[in-house]
Amino acid sequence: MVFVEAKVIDSTHLELTKPIGILRGRKVLVSVAEPTSEGEERGDWFHLVAQGLQSAYGESEPEYETSLVKEPNPEYRP
């Protein structure tokens, strides 16, 4: 998952603030969150949350083996 800011060029085009490393022609999902008038603090929180999500769900996140579970949840059903 990648989070990046973008500038709206027109109703169908965005200009990204940094490259996203996805090949041309590939499809992506875009979620739009407009800045609010509540100031920069809200934007700072948005970026902090986005960074947390990216580190939790990023491509560098390892796959964990079930053998690493120390205390299984008896209610978990895959």
User: Per-residue pLDDT tens for 10-47?
Assistant: 999 999 999 988 888 998 888 887 766 666 677 778 88
- Percentage of the chain beyond pLDDT 70 is 91
Task: Report whether 42 contacts 36 (CB < 8 A).
Answer: yes
- Percentage of the chain beyond pLDDT 90 is 14
- What is the per-residue pLDDT for 64? 79
For residue 54 the two structure tokens come to: 């990216």
Average pLDDT over residues 46-57: 81
Residue ranges per structural domain of the chain: 6-67
Amino acid type, 11: S
What is the overall mean pLDDT for the chain? Answer: 82
